[in-house]
């Protein structure tokens, strides 16, 4: 069965049996709890996606990273619907009891396979959105970091396409993927192929999560500003570490699945990690773009002069060795702008969709 395929297509190293011969514990069903987690996570994600869209429309500054995040939110909705149906139909029960109704077990397995398409897209587009947001924050500086982020985006696309293809092309008759009765009558890939790609995919995606979270850290640490402001920036730009930790926990769970046959029961926490990770990618990845909305709620209109603390932070940046890089990297997170230095040594802060703001 493919219940764990939500984790970016990371497959088991051997095919689990559909029917257990040993009776497990009581016939408990944790489906309602799983459905609540997905519905709540999806609702939060839709709210943050809507707020991000409103903030971008208000500042007239919708960019390509926003569109990728909108795709992530949209794909999370059908994923939640499918997993909710799967959970409420008994998909989290012990395999021993679930397999008593063979046709239902096949139906639930099919639902799970279909859900992997949306999960893979969510992971891929979420990473791409965050990478492109950081690229935009860099402005015209730090060329090697920008190319590294473009590489991360491309690798996310390759991983996503690879996971979907390996999942659904492993058997000539696609129905044999979720119905083991058809496997003797068709050809399927060796499971070692899936296991190899699963290990690669798990390691790569966890590494990308940490890379996207840690890449801005050295730049912020070297800025000459108040400690409170610096800590705030580090929290906003590095909050992706949380998704990296969850991705690592999700990957470590796969090892125990390889040895267990009660796949429907043992993958419960893996489902939870998948929902939490997607939700955090959407929420944390939307915090910087929501800066304009937060400032408006705080009584500061887009386009007006900056606050006292922000003004201090901007002026103190002059003492940084690389002024051009520092201004560009920090501008949007603090003010919804991209700051660049002109040929006369004057910093121009160009707010998205607004007039330029000169910073002497």
How confident is the model over 221-226, as a mean pLDDT? 72
User: Which one of 296, 320, 338 terminates a domain?
Assistant: 296
Cβ atoms of 332 and 338 within 8 Å: the answer is yes
> Among 38-52, 180-194, 245-259, 295-309, whose mean pLDDT is lowest?
295-309
Residues 314 and 207 in one domain: no
Q: From residue 345, how far is each of 90, 290, 318, 319 by CA, in Å?
A: 66, 30, 10, 13
Number of independent structural domains in the chain: 2
Per the structure, the complete domain to which residue 314 belongs is given by 306-359
265 and 330 co-located in one domain: no
Residue 198 pLDDT > 50 = yes
pLDDT at 50 over 60: yes
Question: Once rounded to an integer, what is the mean pLDDT over residues 113-129?
Answer: 92
**Of the candidate ranges 80-94, 186-200, 206-220, the one whose mean pLDDT is the lowest:** 186-200
Q: What pLDDT does residue 60 have?
A: 84
Residue 338 in any domain: the answer is yes
Is position 186 within any domain?
yes
Q: Which of 104, 112, 85 is nearest to 19 (CA)?
A: 104
What is the model's pLDDT at position 226?
74
Contact at 8 Å (CB) between 53 and 66?
Answer: yes
Residues 205 and 285 in one domain: yes
CATH code of residue 52: 1.20.1070
pLDDT of amino acid 117: 92
Q: Which residues in the chain belong to E strands, given as ranges?
A: 337-341, 347-351, 356-359
Q: Which is higher by pLDDT, 348 or 237?
A: 237
Domain end residue (candidates: 296, 322, 346): 296
In a domain, 354, yes or no: yes
The rounded mean pLDDT for the chain is 74
Question: Is 322 in the same domain as 231?
Answer: no
211 and 286: one domain?
A: yes
Give yes or no for residue 293 having a pLDDT over 60: yes
Specify the pTM.
0.75
- Res. 259: pLDDT tops 50: no
Please give the average per-residue pLDDT across 78-96, as a whole number.
92
Number of Cβ within 10 Å of residue 345's Cβ equals 8
> Per the domain annotation, does 233 fall within a domain?
yes
Say if residue 79 is in the same domain as residue 161.
Answer: yes
pLDDT band of residue 86 (cuts 50, 70, 90) is very high
By the 8 A CB rule, do 186 and 173 touch?
yes
Domain boundary pick from 296, 328, 351: 296
Whether 292 and 313 share a structural domain? no
Q: Is residue 301 part of a domain?
A: no
Percent of the chain with pLDDT over 90: 23
Structure tokens at 4: 């764990």
The answer to whether 94 and 27 have CB atoms below 8 angstroms apart is yes
164 and 286 housed in the same domain: yes
Mean pLDDT across 82-91: 94
Query: Are residue 80 and residue 179 in the same domain, yes or no?
Result: yes
More confident residue, 105 or 258: 105
Shared domain for 166 and 42, answered yes or no, is: yes
Q: Verify that 256 and 322 share a domain, yes or no.
A: no
46-55, 157-166, 287-296, 326-335: which has the minimum mean pLDDT? Answer: 326-335
């Amino acid at each position: 069965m493919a219940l764990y395929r939500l984790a970016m297509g990371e497959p088991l190293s051997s095919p689990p049996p559909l029917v257990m011969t040993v009776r497990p514990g009581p016939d408990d069903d944790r489906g309602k709890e799983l459905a609540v987690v997905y519905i709540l996570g999806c609702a939060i994600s839709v709210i943050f996606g809507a707020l991000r869209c409103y903030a971008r429309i208000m500042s007239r500054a919708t960019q390509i990273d926003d569109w990728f995040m909108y795709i992530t939110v949209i794909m999370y909705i059908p994923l939640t619907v499918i997993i909710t149906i799967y959970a409420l139909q008994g998909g989290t029960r012990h395999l021993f009891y679930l397999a008593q109704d063979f046709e239902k077990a096949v139906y639930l397995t099919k639902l799970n396979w279909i859900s992997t398409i949306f999960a893979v897209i969510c992971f891929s587009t979420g990473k791409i959105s965050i990478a492109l947001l950081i690229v935009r924050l860099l402005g015209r500086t730090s060329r090697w970091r920008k190319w590294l982020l473009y590489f991360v985006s491309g690798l996310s696309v390759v991983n996503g396409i690879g996971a979907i293809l390996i999942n659904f092309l492993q058997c000539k008759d696609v129905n044999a993927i979720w119905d083991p009765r058809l496997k003797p009558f068709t050809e399927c890939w060796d499971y070692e192929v899936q296991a190899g790609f699963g290990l690669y995919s798990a390691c790569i995606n966890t590494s990308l999560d940490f890379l996207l979270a840690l890449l801005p850290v050295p730049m912020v640490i070297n800025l000459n500003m108040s400690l409170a402001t610096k800590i705030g920036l580090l929290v906003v730009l590095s909050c992706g570490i949380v998704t990296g930790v969850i991705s690592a926990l999700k990957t470590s769970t796969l090892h125990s699945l390889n040895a267990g046959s009660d796949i429907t029961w043992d993958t419960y926490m893996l489902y939870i990690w998948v929902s939490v990770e997607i939700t955090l990618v959407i929420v944390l990845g939307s915090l910087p773009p929501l800066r304009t909305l937060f400032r408006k709620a705080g009584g500061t209109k887009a386009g007006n002069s900056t606050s006292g603390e922000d003004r201090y932070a901007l002026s103190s940046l002059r003492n940084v060795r690389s002024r051009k890089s520092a201004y560009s990297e920090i501008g949007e997170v603090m003010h919804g702008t991209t700051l660049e230095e002109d040929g006369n040594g004057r910093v121009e802060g160009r707010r998205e969709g607004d007039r330029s703001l000169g910073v002497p």
